[in-house]
Every structure is written in C-alpha cells, then in structure tokens.
Amino acid sequence: MIVLGIESTAHTFGVGITDGKVELANEKVIYKTMGGIHPREASQFMSKNAHQVLKSALDKADLSLDDVDGIAFAQGPGLGPCLRVGGTLAVFLAKQYGKPIVGVNHCIAHIEVGKWDLGFKDPLVVYVSGANTQILGLAGGRYRIFGETLDIGLGNAIDVLGRTMGLEFPAGPKLETLARNGKRLVELPYTVKGMDLAFSGLLTASKKLVGKVKNEDLAYSFQETIFAMLVEVSERALAHTKKKEVMLVGGVAQNKRLREMFENMVKPHDAKFGSPKPAYNGDNGFMIALTGWKMFEAGIEHDPKDLAVKQGWRTDDIEISWH
Ligand code: ATP
Ligand code: FE2
C-alpha cells in the first residue's frame, strides 16, 4: 500500500510518500522567521507552496495521485491556521481521488519515524523540541507521559537565552559551539519537581548573567544544568519502566553534548541509546506518511467529516493499536 502524508503543524509544510518499506519522497518547505512564529503568515506561506511541494513529492516518487492508496495528514497538535492548510488539502485529495484518509498525531509520528530509522521496538522517548519537552513510553497501549516541562520547552529556553546574548534564531547550534569553549561552571538554579521540570528560574538567572559572565562559560553552565535536569528525570523513567532503548527526538536532539550525556546515562541500565537522522528529527511529511501507513495496515480509517484539526491534541489520548 502506498501512502501520501502531509505535515503542516507549525513552520514546515511537507509531503512524504512511503510503501511501508522505504521512503519514496520527503519534500518540504520551511517558513522562516526571526522571532516567534505568526500563525496566519505561516499558513499563507503554506497555502502558496502546497501545490509545488505535493508535485515535487509525486515527481520524486515517480507516481501520480491515482497510484496512491491512502492519504494521511497531521491533524494536531499545532497551530490552527497551519493545521487547516494540510487538513483541507488532505480531505480534498481523498474525496477527489476516492482514497481512504487518516488523521495522524504529529508527536506520535515523530516517535514512529525515530523507531523506524533506528530499528527500535519499544523505546523510552525523550522528545525535546522548541515547544515540547516530554519523556514518554508505551504502557498499556498508549504513550504515557512520565515527565514533562511545567513551563516552557527546552529549545525555547535555549532560544530565549540566545536572543539575550545576541545570537540569531534558532540559537541551539550557536550556543552549543560557545559551550564547547566554556571552562568555568557557574552555579545556576536546578529545578526538578518529582518527574517534571521547570526551566523559567534557570532561564531568568542565566539572562541576568549575560554581560557579567563570559558567553562561553554561561553557555556551558546553562547547557550542563538544563541537560542534567532532563537526564536525571529520564534516568528515573528508565529505571522505573526498565525499557531497553532510549530515543532522543526533536530539534534539541541535534546537540552532541546532550547525546553524550544520554549515552553515559544508559550504560549502567544495559539499554541502547539512539537519535534519528536530522531529516527525521525536524518536522517532515514522511513521518506522517509512515504513521498513516501503519494505521491503515491496522485497519484504521477515518470519516472525512470527523477530521477537524486538534490544536491541543495530547499524545496520551491515542490508543496505539498498531506496531
Ligand atoms: P515541534 O512542533 O515538534 O515542537 P519545534 O519547531 O518547536 O517543533 P524543532 O524544529 O523540533 O522544534 O526544534 C527547534 C529547536 O531545536 C529550537 O529551539 C533550536 O534552538 C533547537 N536546536 C536546534 N539545534 C540545536 C542544538 N544543536 N543544540 C540545542 N538545541 C538545538
Ligand atoms: Fe515537530
């Protein structure tokens, strides 16, 4: 079965195609902005580019829409106006070409594509993007959240500190380079509450030190502290669930120091650690196509009438009946 998947939750409009065995296409355009994302502008950018991305994905796969057996799209969570661009296109294609359709959860798709890339079966998932910070794992047929941020996402915290330092957005890669040359560890607030994390105290204290402490030392101290908080909670979740795989996904997963800390953490637990390749860590259409493919194969199909977008859709709302 060949599935075409559409991603449009935030800044990326992507179209991916798969037959469940290989990636046949994974095309995308990314709406770039300096500060926070403006939902309406992002959605207009998507509408303008949607046709071209769809066409290049089909060209890449050397297929026409008639060859596609099912349509999948990211139904949520995300920004309403953006979600509706992908949703409207998906429903139109399904009706026009008489194909079945499924609405896919974007966060689950990040997990599915990571598992596919790494060959993992049942990992503890650490999802760290701009907006999200969650530690999840499959338990009783759902992805349960073992720990999460109580305020902002980890990537967001990095970007805000970076902006205060005068780094361009997104600040993650630049802060990582600075941190590599840091020597002095400055003590900063470390806030772990049970299994949850809070970053705003650490962020406020760090922002106050900009200009007083060398940027390299501040970047180093900030990374060491915020990553240690994340690794601590992840280790407790690992010890509790006794899973044998740990998977780091999302934009912040690019960070080499964070990966190194996770590699060291999993060793005494006799677990494997991995993170998918960059093209799959960022938002993309292939992950939606792949998850849609698994859902179709498991017999799931949605009525286009029930496919209103779900901006705040939670990962633990979904029963995972496929594998
Ligand atoms: P989602 O909708 O999944 O939450 P998002 O747009 O919030 O997506 P991603 O695109 O997954 O986030 O990730 C972007 C974040 O990753 C930014 O905050 C960016 O600073 C951070 N990032 C990117 N590279 C690095 C790095 N090397 N080190 C740390 N953070 C990084
Ligand atoms: Fe995402």
- Give the neighbor-by-neighbor strand order of the sheet with 3-7: 23-30, 12-18, 3-7, 70-76, 101-105
pLDDT digits (tens, 9 = 90+) for 138-191: 999 999 999 999 999 999 999 999 999 999 888 999 999 999 999 999 999 999
Among 129, 223, 288, the mutation site with the greatest number of ligand 1 atoms within 8 A of its Cβ is 129
- Tokens 């796969």 belong to residue: 61
Q: 237, 135 in Cβ contact below 8 A?
A: yes
Q: What residues flank ion ligand 2 with Cβ within 5 A?
A: 283
pLDDT of residue 131: 85
Task: Tell me the mean pLDDT in the region 131-139.
Answer: 94
pLDDT cut 70: percent of the chain above it: 99
Residue 36 in this model has a pLDDT that exceeds 90: no
pLDDT of residue 169: 84
pLDDT of residue 111: 95
Ligand 1 nearest-atom number relative to CA 130: 7
Task: Tell me the mean pLDDT in the region 111-122.
Answer: 97
pLDDT digits (tens, 9 = 90+) for 278-303: 999 889 999 999 999 999 999 999 99
Q: Which domains occur in the chain, in start order? A: 3-110+280-317 (3.30.420.40), 119-277 (3.30.420.40)
Ligand 1 nearest-atom number relative to CA 132: 4
pLDDT of residue 35: 67
Look at the pTM and tell me if it is higher than 0.75. yes
- Average pLDDT value for the chain: 96
Helix, coil or strand: residue 106: helix
With residue 204 as reference, give the H or E element that holds it.
helix 200-209
